Structures are given as structure tokens and as C-alpha cells.
Amino acid sequence: MDVPIWLTNSRTRKKELFEPIDPDNVRIYVCGPTVYDRAHLGNARPAIVFDVLFRLMRQVYGPEHVTYVRNFTDVDDKINARAQASGRSIGEITAETTQWYLDDMAAVGVMEPTHMPRATEFIDQMIAMIGDLIEKGHAYEAEGHVLFAVESYKAYGGLSGRSVDDMIAGARVEVAPYKRNPMDFVLWKPSEPELPGWDSPWGRGRPGWHIECSAMSYELLGASFDIHGGGNDLMFPHHENEIAQSCCAHPEGGFAKVWLHNEMLQVEGKKMSKSLGNFFTVHDLLEGRDGQAGVPGEVIRFVMLSTHYRKPMDWTAEKAREAEATLRKWRGMVADVEVGAVPETVVSVLADDLNTAGAIAELHKLASSGDLGGLKAGAGLLGLLTPEMGAWDEVSVDLSGLADKLAAVRAAAMESKDFSEVDRMKAALLEAGVEVRMSKAGVELLPGAGFDAAKLEGL
């Protein structure tokens, strides 16, 4: 499909026409989770955003021509602390939490990337890259640590747009006597006997956080690739440091050509935090918490996609109810419909800097016009209305009988002018989460947001 794709490059701060390095091998790298606990709702946003990017690139360039890498950080001080606090092994914790993440992301419609490397599988490559940086004069050993010398890379700060002096003044950097410059960052650090460690030329130790993405992206995508993505909280220092060490280790390449960053997530207009009581995991939301019913994964995805990735996303209960009602309606409309071709209108809007909100608006137009094959296909491009999202919308009660009953009660009320029974039935249906539509043509009952079949037993 020959559709131009425009993306806002964080590095140039401009919306640019995407021109792949090799159209036969479009390459994307996205920073994945540190696997020490359940993924919270904010973690789901980049997973969903870059899943849509992956789907768009597959649609435009062909599935066989797109390579998407999203890593797992499975060596980290948070993981070590969790292991020490729980008495469980690090391997057991990371295996469990990695599977939790995969299960939760699958529940919100995220396809598995082409590669999902784990940091611990690439330690040898990290050690080799660190050694190369030392040889080239971009890193130095000090007291068992190896540090990247920020002053050796003149373009440092180009992504975040800050000078080194400004970053020193505003950053909370680790104060250590062995650093030549306060901004120098750790590539390798020593490990105590009880902590994970690997033999290296600088002693038994473990890698710093930033080096893992540089090593894994180089091994799987090469010295130059098309797109690097992540949350905007990673722009500095993580992505800034990735650029520095990658460009110094492999000056023949340009590392990532385009940088994409999604904005953060709020809950009911406030930053998500445990102190405010509005912090919850994807699993919490899926399964239900504090006596509230669970939210279907497809609903979570729809709400996320209703806001452009470069804008702050506000999760609200009202948005979830509206999304559920829309999805129930659309699923009812396309239940027995063959999937058509993906409408070019949907692709074109989505190709304008991943405008998912605009693409959803196009789906509403398709629904209104009766192009149900196009609706099903266009929604599928966004990861919606797919069989993989399950049958959460299926109703265990046939509402046609209740619709006929309400129609008869309404007809009798028209004669008697006593509408009390009509009002009682409508109130009970609304309480059960049923949308009641009455017109001259008859009565239509549709399960809406929060539908509860058990509440219809009295009717």
C-alpha cells in the first residue's frame, strides 16, 4: 500500500516524511519493561502505541519487511532488591514477571514483536562494546567501574536539547569520587557475591542500564536502523546515553534515524501515584479491584488510542464506559460480516503521525455509513474488533424477548395512558446496563457499558 507516513521526530522536533533506510527491512527498536513486578497502566501506553506503529508499517511495507525489537531488562537493582526482600531467586522472579507482562499486553491487544531479547542473553556483546569504547577513548576504568566519558562525545545532549552544563546543574547524578565528570555514566559496575555477576576484563560485575539497549539493537538491527521509541521519560538520560555510546562504538552508523516518544498517563486528571490511591496495574484493571468489575482489554486499548500519543493521556472511568458502549455496538454490527479491505482513509489518517484518535473518528464514519466490512478491517488495523480480543461482549441472555415484552407493555400503555409499567421496565433495564431505544418502528435493546445479565432476572 503506497501511503506516505509522517512522524514527529523527537530529535529534530519536526514532523517528517518517513523514508526507510531499506524498504525491504524496516527496523524498529522500543525500550521494554524492567521485569520486577506487574506492569502498571502507564507501562501499557508505549506498548500499545508502538504496537500500532508496528501494525501500520506491516500494512504499508508488508509483514515480512518489518522487524520490531522490544527488550526485557532482566538485570537491574530493583530486581535484586525484590529477590532479597522475598527470598526468591532472581531467575524465578524475572521468569514470572516477564510472563505476566506478556499476558497482560496480549490482553490489551499487543502483538508480540519480532524479537524480545533479554538483557542477560547479551552480556558478552555488552562487554565487547564496553571494551571497544575504552579502546577508542570514550570510556575509562575506575575502581572496578567502567564509565562513559561524556565530554568525548561532542554531540551529547542533541536529543533532549540540553547542554552538558545545564544537565549537570539540573540532574540528580550519582556523586562518585571515581568520576572524571559528574555526567559520566556507568557502563559496568562490580557485583557483590550475593548479586548477579559476570566475569569481565574489569572483574566480576554487571552492566549499567543504558548499555544493554545499545548492544541489543546493534546485534539485532545493525549500526543504523529506522525508528527508536519509548516514553518521553526515557529521553534523558537513557536515550541520550544510548546515542552517545552507540555512535562512539559504531561511528560508521547513525544509530536511530527517527526518535518517537509518547507522553505520560494520568488517572482522572492526576498523575498516577500510590500516595493518591490512583495507582493500579493492568492486571488490576483487567480483573477488577476495590469491588469494581474488570475492564475488558479491548476497552483499555480503545481508551488509550482515543488520545494522540504525543499528548498526555487521561484515563477516566467515564471514558471506559463510553468505549465499552461503542465497542459493544460495533461488535454487534460486524458479528457476521466478512472483513473487507482496510479503507485507505483509515490508513492515511493513521499514517499522519500515528493519529489514532483520527482513525477512530474514521471508524465512526464507516459505522454510520454502513460500510461494515471496512469498519471491521479498519478497526483490525488498530487492533480492535479482532477475534484475539476475545468475546467479552457476548450476551448470555437473548434480549429480543424482553424487547417484545416492552413493546407489548408500551402498546397497552398507549391505550390505557398508564405508563408506570413501561417506566418500571425501562428503569430496570437501564440499571442492568441495557440501552433502551424506542421508536415508531419498535423497541430495540442493546447491552451497554457495565451490562449485567443477572439484574434482568426480575424481568
- Over range 380-391, report the average pLDDT: 92
Structural domain includes residue 380: yes
Q: Looking at the structure, tell me whether residues 163 and 226 fall in a common domain.
A: yes
Residue 232 confidence (pLDDT): 95
Q: Looking at the structure, tell me whether residues 68 and 211 fall in a common domain.
A: yes
Structural domain includes residue 225: yes
Residues 181-212: tens digit of each pLDDT: 989 999 999 999 989 999 999 999 999 999 99
Q: Looking at the structure, tell me whether residues 205 and 283 fall in a common domain.
A: no
Q: Looking at the structure, tell me whether residues 448 and 370 fall in a common domain.
A: no
- Give the confidence band of 9 by pLDDT, cuts at 50, 70, 90: very high
Residue that finishes a domain, picked among 389, 408, 430: 389
Tell me the percentage of the chain whose pLDDT exceeds 90. Answer: 79
Residue that finishes a domain, picked among 389, 408, 438: 389
- Give the confidence band of 171 by pLDDT, cuts at 50, 70, 90: low
Q: Looking at the structure, tell me whether residues 378 and 417 fall in a common domain.
A: no
pTM of the predicted protein model: 0.87
Structural domain includes residue 1: no
Residues 53 and 377: their CA atoms lie apart, in Å, by 16
Q: Is the pLDDT of residue 16 over 50?
A: yes
Structural domain includes residue 135: yes
Average pLDDT for the chain: 93
Q: Looking at the structure, tell me whether residues 66 and 209 fall in a common domain.
A: yes
Structural domain includes residue 79: yes
Residue that finishes a domain, picked among 230, 262, 294: 262
- Over range 85-108, report the average pLDDT: 96
Tell me the percentage of the chain whose pLDDT exceeds 70. Answer: 97
- Domain hosting 433: range is 400-456
- Give the confidence band of 433 by pLDDT, cuts at 50, 70, 90: confident
C-alpha cell at 62: 508488508
Residues 124 and 117: their CA atoms lie apart, in Å, by 14
182, burial (CB in 10 Å: exposed 0-12, middle 13-18, buried 19+)? middle
Q: What angle do CA 378, 382, 385 make, to 5 degrees?
A: 70
Structural domain includes residue 134: yes
Q: Looking at the structure, tell me whether residues 225 and 287 fall in a common domain.
A: no
Q: Is the pLDDT of residue 173 over 70?
A: no
Residues 254-300: tens digit of each pLDDT: 999 999 999 999 999 998 887 887 888 999 999 987 777 889 999 99
- Give the confidence band of 80 by pLDDT, cuts at 50, 70, 90: very high
Q: Looking at the structure, tell me whether residues 211 and 337 fall in a common domain.
A: no
- Give the confidence band of 398 by pLDDT, cuts at 50, 70, 90: low
Q: Looking at the structure, tell me whether residues 283 and 221 fall in a common domain.
A: no
- Give the confidence band of 449 by pLDDT, cuts at 50, 70, 90: low
Residue 174 confidence (pLDDT): 60
Residue 247 confidence (pLDDT): 98
Residues 119-140: tens digit of each pLDDT: 999 999 999 999 999 999 999 9
- Give the confidence band of 15 by pLDDT, cuts at 50, 70, 90: very high
For the ranges 41-45, 241-245, 390-394, the lowest mean pLDDT is seen at 390-394
Residue 360 phi/psi, 5-degree rounding, is -65, -35
Structural domain includes residue 196: yes
- Over range 288-314, report the average pLDDT: 93
Q: Looking at the structure, tell me whether residues 308 and 383 fall in a common domain.
A: yes
Q: Looking at the structure, tell me whether residues 231 and 168 fall in a common domain.
A: yes
> What contacts 155, CB < 8 A, 6 or more positions away?
243, 244, 247
- Give the confidence band of 115 by pLDDT, cuts at 50, 70, 90: very high
CB-CB contact of 104 with 113 (8 Å): no
Q: Identify which of 67, 72, 65 has the alpha carbon closest to the alpha carbon of residue 114.
A: 67
- Over range 304-322, report the average pLDDT: 96
Residues 352-367: tens digit of each pLDDT: 999 999 999 999 999 9
| DSSP code string of 259-283 | EEEEPPEEETTEE--TTTT---BHH
> What contacts 82, CB < 8 A, 6 or more positions away?
36, 37, 88, 93
Q: Looking at the structure, tell me whether residues 271 and 257 fall in a common domain.
A: no
- Over range 248-258, report the average pLDDT: 97
CATH at 205: 3.40.50.620
Structural domain includes residue 394: no
* Count of structural domains within the chain: 3
